[in-house]
Structure 1
C-alpha cells in the first residue's frame, strides 16, 4: 500500500464539492426503468391479479357489490404484498451493493485517503498499483515501472508500459494495472470516460436466469397453462348445465385461482435476496444472487495456502548463505555475509513494500543496518514478478551512478540462470530440502552487475551471482484443522493450490491434518497433461504447488469437467481467470486485489476461511428451506384444487362450496406461511453431514414430488370427509362450508409444523428456534375465529358458527390428514440407524 504522497497536495474538500457539482459522481448512469412503473406492469401481467380483476368485474355486473369490493380489496392487498416483498428484496440487494462498491486511493489535503470510487472527482490525484482496477480516466504524473492491461477497450491482451513521458500517458476507466504503481490526475469520470462513451451497450444486457430459476418458472408456466385449460373445460361444462354465463365464469375462475401457485416465484426471489442479506451480516458479501443457490452444492473447495490456511505473518526465520554453505537462524547478531544476503533480498523487494515477506525483509534490514541507504537510491528499472517458476528483479541507482541489481524468487528460477557449479547446486538443493521440510517458505536471492542503460528485454538474460536463500515461517491458523473436518464431514473435498514449493506445502498440510497430503503436482507437470490425464490427476491429487494462472485455470476446468461444483478462493491478479471460471469464486476482502474482487462472486470481508463453511451451511439452509416452502405450496394447493373441483365435477349437493372470495382468502393465509416462516427456519442438525446436492437434476426428485402429492391428497381426503360428514348430518351449505374451510386451515397449520423437517420428528422441530411460527399461527387462528364467530364476517363469507364438537372434529380431521407423515419420518430414521 502507498505510504507517501510524493509531495502532492491534491484537492481540498471545497474543491472536491465544486468538482462534483460540475462533473457529477463517478458512476456510469444509463437509461433506468421507472421502478414503480415496472412493478405496476409486472402486477398487471400476474395471472392471479388478472383473475381477481375478472372475478371483481363479474361480481359488480351481477350486483354482488360486497363480494366485488372484497375482490377489489384483495387486488390491492396482493399488490401491497408484492410491493412489500419486492422492496424487501431490493433493499437487501441495495445494502449488498453498498458493500461491493470498489474503493480507490487518492491524495487530498496532502494526505493519502481511501474513498469509494463513485466519490472520485475530476482533478483528484488517483494512486493505483498492481492489481488495481482503474476507476476513472486520468493523466500520469508519476509512475514506477507501470504497465496497464487495456484489453477491455482495445482488445489487445498484452500489457502497455506507460509513464508521464509516453506518447499516450493516459489511463482509462475499466482497465487494470498489470505491474508497478502510478499517480494520475483524474480528467474524466462516469459517462465522460472512454468506457462511458462505449457503455451504452450495457443497457441491453439482461441477467441470465439460473437453472433453478428456469425450472421454477417452467413449473409455474405449466400450472398457468393447466389452469387455463381447466378454466375453459369447467366453464363449458357449467354453461352446458345452467346456461348462466356469469355463474359459470365465477365457478371456473374459482378453480383457476386454486391452481395457480403464484407464491412460488415470490418465495424464490425472497429466499435468494434475504439469503444474500443474511450472508452479508455474517461478513460474506454476495455479488451475484445466483451464488446463494449454488453454495449448498459445492463439492470441491480449492484454496490458497498463504494467508488463507496460514496467518500470512511471514516472519524472516532462517538464512542460507551459499558462500558459507550453512543454515542459520535469523538474529540481530548476523555476520557480514548474512547481513549482505538480507540487504540484497531487501533491494530485490518493492521500495514501498506491501507483501508480508517484503515487509519482513525491509524490517530486518532496518534492524541490521544503522546507516540506511534507501533514501539515496531510486529505482530506474523493474522486471515484475514473472516466469515459470517466478522471479523478479529491481535495478536501483544513486546520484554517483552506483548501481544495485537484485533479484529474488523461486530457487529453481534463480539457480537456472546463476553461475553455480554442480556441487554448489547440490548444496543449495540439500539446504532448501532441509528448510522446507520444516514448513518454511523459501526465496532465493541473487545479484548481477550490468553497465549501460540498454537493459535486456528479460531479467533472465542478466548474469546472476547466487547469494543464498531466505526462509520465512507462516504458521497455520488455529481454526484450520477443525474447519477441514467440517468440510470433510459435509462431503466436500479440499484442494490446496499454491505458488509455494511442494516440501513447504506438504509440511503445513501434515500439520493441519490435511487429507492425502503425500502426493502433489506442480504447475509445469499439469500444463503438459492432456485433458483426460488432467481430469484423472485432479481427482486423485489434493496438493498443487508452483502454480501459475494457466495451471490454476486448468485445474478448475478439469474439476468442472469431472462434474464437480467448484469453489475457489483467491486474492491476487493471477487468480482472476480461475475465480471467474469457478462456480463460486471467493475473493479476500482485506488482502484481495480489485481484480480478484471483480472476478469473484463472493467476498470474505475478514479473509477468514471459516466464513466459507458458514456460507456453505447457509447455502444448504436456504436451498432446503426453499424446497420446504415449495413442497408446502404444492401440498396445500392440491386440496384447494380438488375441494373446488370434485363437488363441481361430480354434481354434489353443494357444488359451489368455495367461491373466489374463499380461495383468495386461503391464498392470502398461505403466502406469508411459505415466504416468511420457512425462510426464517434454522438449519437442520444434519445439514452439514450430508453429501452436497447434485446440480444436474431437477429441483425435486420424484420421491419428493410424490411426498407433496400424497400429503395433498391426504388433506383432500380430510376436507372431503368433513364435507360428507356435514352433508350426511343434514347441515346446510353455510355450515358445511365452515367445516370444510376450518378443516383445511387446521391441516394447513399442522402441515406447516410437520414439514419443518422431512426427517426429524415434530417433537424435535418444535425445539427449533423460529419466533415467526407462533406469531403466524396465532394470527391465522385469530382470523379464523373472527370469520366463524363474528357475525359480520360470518355472513359475508357465507359461514356458520361451529359448535365445540364440530370445531374439535375439524381440527382432529385436519391433524390426522397431516400427522401420518410422522410415521414415514420415523421409518426413515429407523432405516438410517440400522
Structure 2
C-alpha cells in the first residue's frame, strides 16, 4: 500500500510559512569563503612581503617612481592570486553544490525528492535503509526500523524504534540501518540535537596529503635557504659598499628569485581543476586526497550486482522441491506449486520493495496471479535479514486470523533451518549448483505454521518450498572496462554477497581474470593474518561476504602495500568504503550512508568512469610534476644570474632589480598553474604500472635533470653577459640582452617541459589553447619592454637591433633544446 494513501503531508503554503518561521535546514558554521581569509592569505605570502619591503626601501630612499612600480606589482600579484584562488574555490563550490544531500518527503499527498536544506518542521519524511535522517522528528509509522545513533550517543550498535515504543524520537545525522519509517519533522537546522552539539562540528582538522606535505616541505626549505642567502648577500654587500639601502635591495632581489611560490599555487589549482574536470565526467570527488590517490591505485574491489551486471533483476526460474524447474521468463501460467512458491517468496519480501530482487518478485506475482491477496494480509511480525549467510521472515495474518509465515534467503541458511533429509538437501544443492553455474542468483524459500513464534527465526519449523532464480545480465561494456584496468596495471577483485558459482559464471562471461580463484566469507574469517595476506593476493573472487569480511579484505590488501579502491552502494559497504584509499559509492543505487563514507561518487553507476578517473589522476600527477620541474629549472638561472655577479664582483653586479624578478615571476605563475594543467594525457601513461603511493614526488634523477636544464640556461645567460661586457656594452644594454635571453629560454623551456619523452614537435600539437595564450602574452610583454620607450626606461633597458635579439634567441634555443636529445634516447628505449 502506498504511503501517500495514509499520509498527506504539508501543503506548499504550509511549507512556505514554516520556512519563514524556521529558516533552512542547515547547520550554521564558518563562512564559505570570506574576503578577510583571501586578504590574509595574500598579505602573508612571502613574495608579497618581499615586494612590500622593497617598495618601502625605494620610498624611504626617495625613489618614488620605483616604489610606485613595485606597489603596482604588489597589486598585480594580488590580482593574480585572487584569480587563481577564485578558480580553485569556484571549482570546489560547484562540487559542493552537485553533492547537495536530498531526502524524500510527502507533500500534498505526493512523494517528492527535495534538498535536505528545504526540509521544514511538520514535513513527513520517509527514511529508508541506507539513508541519513535529515532532521529531528517523531516516528508516525515504522517497518523493521533501526538506527545507528553513534553520531549522537557514541554507541555504534543499531537501535530499534517504532511508533508504539517508549522512544519514538529520531535525530538528524543518525543512519538508518534497516527498514523504513515515516517521520514527522519537529526540529531543523541548529534547533536539532546535532545542531546543539555545536562547536565540535566546526573544528575539523584537515589532514594534509603526502604530496602536499612534500611540496610544503620543499617550499619551506627553499624559504630557509632564501633567508640565509639574503642575510649573507646583504652582509657581504654592506661590508663592500657601505650602503645599507643598496645592499638590502640586492639581497631582496636574490631572496625573491629563490622563493618557488608558484609550486603550492600550482598544486592547489591542479587538484581543484582536476576535481572539477572529473565532475564534468560524472565523477564527484569529495576529498582532495582522492585526486592524488587515483593515479596510484593498484587494485580495485568491485561488487558483482550493479557494477559488473546491470542491476536489472528479472525472475528467471522457479525450482520446486521435486526438482521441477519452470522458466518464468517464457511461461504464461504457473502450476499450483510454482504459484505457491512465488506467492510465499513475494510475501517474504518487503511490502514496499526497494531491493531489485524483491521488486522482481512483486512484478512476477502481479503478472501470474489472478487473485492478488496482498491487501488481505497484515504484517504482524518481522524477522529482519540476518545471519551469515542471511535470511529473513515475515509473519502475516488476515481478517479471519489465518497466519502466513514466509521465509526467504540464502539457500544455505534456509536449508539449515528446514526439515529436509540429508539426501533431499543434496538433491536441492545439485539443482542450486546447476542454476548458479549458469549465472543465476538463487534464493531459497520456505514457509512455516508455528503457533508460537520463537525469538530466533532459525528456530521456526520450516517447510522447504523451492528455489527462485534471478538473472541480472552483465553490462555490455564490462569486458572492455576490465581490459583497460588490466592494461593500466590495476588488479580487479570481486567482493560479493552472492555465491561463488554464480559469480564465477558471470565473471567468466565478461573476461574476468582469475574467475576460478574464489574464497567464501566464512572461510576467510577463519584465516590468520598471515594466511589472509596470501589469500587476498591469490584469490580474485570473494563470495558470501559480510561487512566484517569486506573490511578485513581491504585492510589485508593495504597491509600488502596495495593502493585500494573499493566500490559499494549499501549500508554494509560503509566500513570498507571508509577504510579504502579510494572509497567509490554509486550515485544512482548507492545509499546516503555509502555516499557519505566514500571519497568519490560515480554519478551514473558506470565502472568505466573509474578508468577515466584513474587516467585523470595519472594525468594530474604527471602534469603537476612537469610544472614543478619547469619551475625548478627556470628558477636556477634567475637565482644564479642575480647571485654570481654579486658574489664574483662582475662589472655589472646588479643585473636585475626586484622589478625584473617580479615580472619573471608573473610570467612563470600562470605558465605552471594554468598552462601545464590543461595538457592532455600522454599516450603511454595508461600502459604504465601505477605509481607507488609512498614514492617521493621527485627522484634524485628527475631533480638532477631539472638542475641540469637550469644550469644550461644559466650558462647561456652568462655567455650573453660576458660577451656583452667584452664588447663594451653598457649595463642597460647588457641587462636588456640577458633579460631577453631569459624570457626566450623560458618560452622554449615551457614547450620542452610539456613531455619528458615526446619531442617538442609532438607536444606543440597537443590540444591546449591556454598554453598558447600564456606564451603569446609572454612574447607581448617582452616586445613591449623592448620597443616602447617609456616601458624600456622603467626596466632600465635600451633599444637593441633585431640581430642581437636573434642572437639571444639562438643562445636560448641552444641552452634549452639540447634536452630533445635526452627525450630521443628515452623514446628509443620504449
TM range (shorter): over 0.9
Distance 2:7 2:507 in 1: 47
What is the SS of the residue equivalent to 1:517?
Answer: coil
Q: Separation in 1 of the partners of 2:784 and 2:165?
A: 80
Cα pair 1:437 1:504 within 8 Å, conserved: yes
**Residues of 2 paired with 1:37 and 1:60: CA distance?**
27
Q: Do the aligned partners of 2:317 and 2:326 also contact (CA within 8 Å) in 1?
A: yes
CA deviations 1:749-806 (Å, max 9, x no partner) are 1111011110111122122111112211111111101100110111110011121110
Please state how far the C-alpha of 1:485 moved relative to its aligned partner. Answer: 0.7
Distance in 2 (alpha carbons) for counterparts of 1:450 and 1:76: 83
Task: Tell me the CA shift for residue 104 of structure 1.
Answer: 0.3
Please give the per-residue CA displacement for 1:82-125, whole angstroms capped at 9, x wherever unaligned. 11111111111111111112110001111111001111111111
CA distance in 1, matches of 2:185, 2:95: 28
Q: In the TM superposition, what are the counterparts of 1:785-796 in structure 2 within 5 Å?
A: 785-796=783-794
Consecutive unaligned residues of structure 2, counting only runs of 5 or more, are none
User: C-alpha separation between the residues in 1 aligned to 2:2 and 2:308?
Assistant: 28
**C-alpha separation between the residues in 2 aligned to 1:33 and 1:124?**
28
- Is the 2:5–2:109 contact (alpha carbons within 8 Å) kept by the matching residues of 1? no
- RMSD, aligned CA: 1.1
Map Cα deviations across residues 28-53 of structure 1 (whole Å, 9 max, x no partner): 11354872112222222211111000
Q: Distance in 1 between matches of 2:764 and 2:794?
A: 36
Aligned to 1:714: 712
Aligned twin of 2:827: 829
Calculate the TM-score normalised by the size of structure 1.
0.98
Partner in structure 1 of residue 363 of structure 2 = 363
Residue aligning to 1:303: 302
After superposition, give the CA deviation of every residue in 1:570-591 in whole Å (9 maximum; x if it has no partner). 0001000000000000000000
Structure 2 SS opposite 1:678: helix
Q: Distance in 2 between matches of 1:366 and 1:16?
A: 37
CA shift at 1:553, angstroms? 0.3
Q: How does 1:337-736 map to 2 (within 5 A)?
A: 337-452=337-452, 455-736=453-734
Distance 1:3 1:592, change over 3 A: farther
C-alpha displacement at 1:328, in angstroms?
A: 2.9
Check whether the contact 2:222–2:260 (CA below 8 A) recurs between aligned residues. Answer: yes
- SS in structure 1 at match of 2:144: strand
Contact 1:148 1:161 (C-alpha < 8 Å) held by counterparts: yes
Indicate conservation of the 8 Å contact 1:635/1:711, yes or no: yes
Cα distance change, pair 560–34 in 1 and its aligned pair in 2 (3 A): closer
Q: Is the 8 A contact 2:573 2:594 kept in 1?
A: yes
Cα displacement string for residues 633-687 of structure 1 (whole angstroms, at most 9, x for unaligned residues) = 1110010000100011100001000000100010001101001100111111111
Once the 2 structures are TM-superposed, how far is the Cα of residue 3 of structure 1 from its aligned partner?
4.8
Separation in 2 of the partners of 1:31 and 1:89? Answer: 18
Partner SS for 2:164: coil
Q: Deviations over 1:558-609 (max 9, x none)?
A: 0000000000000001000000000000000000001100000000010000
Q: Secondary structure of the residue that 1:73 maps to in structure 2?
A: helix
User: 2:349 & 2:303 partners in 1: Cα distance?
Assistant: 22
Deviations 1:370-417 (A, max 9, x none): 111011112222122111011111112211111211111111011111
- Cα deviation, 1:523-571, whole Å, max 9, x if unaligned, reads 0011111111101110111100000000000000000000000000000
Is residue 327–residue 431 contact of structure 1 (8 Å, CA) maintained in 2? no
* Alpha-carbon distance in 1 for matches of 2:30, 2:262: 31
Aligned equivalent of 2:777? 779
Is 1:28 the counterpart of 2:27 in the alignment?
yes
Distance change in 2, residues 1:482/1:33 (3 Å): closer
The structural deviation recorded for 1:146 is 1.3
CA shift for structure 1 position 353: 1.0
- Contact 1:303 1:568 (C-alpha < 8 Å) held by counterparts: yes
Q: How does 1:741-780 map to 2 (within 5 A)?
A: 741-780=739-778
Q: 1 CA distance for matches of 2:189 and 2:199?
A: 12
Corresponding residue SS for 1:554: helix
Give distance in 2, aligned partners of 1:519 and 1:600.
28
Distance (Å, rounded) in 2 between the aligned partners of 1:16 and 1:379: 33
SS at the partner of 1:107? strand
Instruction: For residue 367 of structure 1, give the secondary structure of its aligned residue in structure 2.
Output: helix
**CA distance in 1 between partners of 2:542 and 2:505 (Å):** 13
User: Matched residues in 2 for 1:657 and 1:104: separation?
Assistant: 65
Give the alignment's TM-score, normalised by structure 2. Answer: 0.99
Q: Distance in 1 between matches of 2:799 and 2:393?
A: 90
**2:467, 2:49 → 1: CA distance?**
76
Spell out the pairing of 1:164-203 with structure 2 (5 A cutoff).
Answer: 164-203=163-202
Could you say which residue in structure 2 is the equivalent of 1:126? Answer: 125
Measured after TM superposition, the shift of residue 155 of structure 1 is 2.2
SS at match of 2:300: strand
**Alpha-carbon distance in structure 1 between the residues aligned to 2:450 and 2:130:** 30
Per-residue deviation, 1:333: 2.2
1:333 aligns with 2:333: yes
Following superposition, the deviation at residue 158 of structure 1 comes to: 2.3
Q: Structure 1: how far apart are the matches of 2:606 and 2:33?
A: 40
- After superposition, residues 259-270 of structure 1 pair within 5 angstroms as 259-270=258-269
- Tell me: CA distance 1:151–1:457, structure 2 relative to 1, closer, same or farther (3 Å): farther
Partners of 2:419 and 2:58 in 1: how far apart?
97
How many residues align structurally?
828
- Partners of 1:75 and 1:194 lie apart in 2 by 48
CA distance in structure 2 between the partners assigned to 1:806 and 1:207 by the alignment: 53
Q: Deviations over 1:217-274 (max 9, x none)?
A: 1111111110100000000000000000000000000000000011111111111111
CA distance in 2, matches of 1:7, 1:720: 86
In 1, Cα distance between the equivalents of 2:708 and 2:651? Answer: 27
Say whether the 8 Å CA contact 1:418–1:463 is kept in structure 2: yes
**What is the rounded CA distance, in whole Å, between the counterparts of 1:423 and 1:690 in structure 2?**
54
1:329 & 1:601 partners in 2: Cα distance? Answer: 42
Moved over 3 A (4+): 31-34
Q: 1:682/1:415 Cα in 2 relative to 1: closer, same or farther (>3 Å)? A: same
Structure 1: state its 5+ residue gaps.
none
| Aligned ranges 1:270-281 → 2 under 5 Å | 270-281=269-280
Q: How far is the alpha carbon of 1:57 from its aligned partner?
A: 0.5
Contact 1:25 1:119 survives alignment (8 Å): yes
Preserved contact between residue 432 and residue 442 of structure 1 (Cα < 8 Å): yes
The structural deviation recorded for 1:18 is: 1.4
Find the residue that maps to 1:308 and give its secondary structure.
helix
Contact residue 715 and residue 817 of structure 1 kept, 8 A: yes
Q: Provide Cα deviations, 1:336-383, integer angstroms capped at 9, x if missing partner.
A: 111111111111111111111111111111111111101111222212
Q: What is aligned with 1:226?
A: 225
Check whether the contact 2:73–2:662 (CA below 8 A) recurs between aligned residues: yes
Work out the CA distance in 2 between the residues paired with 1:551 and 1:163.
31
1:68 aligned residue: 67
**Cα distance between partner residues in 2 of 1:584 and 1:107:** 35
Q: Secondary structure of the equivalent of 2:504? A: helix
Answer whether contact 2:420 2:464 (CA < 8 A) is retained.
yes
1: distance between equivalents of 2:149 and 2:773? 57
Matches of 2:20 and 2:718 in 1, distance apart?
70
Distance 2:520 2:598 in 1: 24
String of CA shifts for 1:692-744, please: whole Å, max 9, x gaps.
10111211111111111111111111111111121111111111111111111
- CA contact under 8 A between 1:172 and 1:193: conserved in structure 2? yes
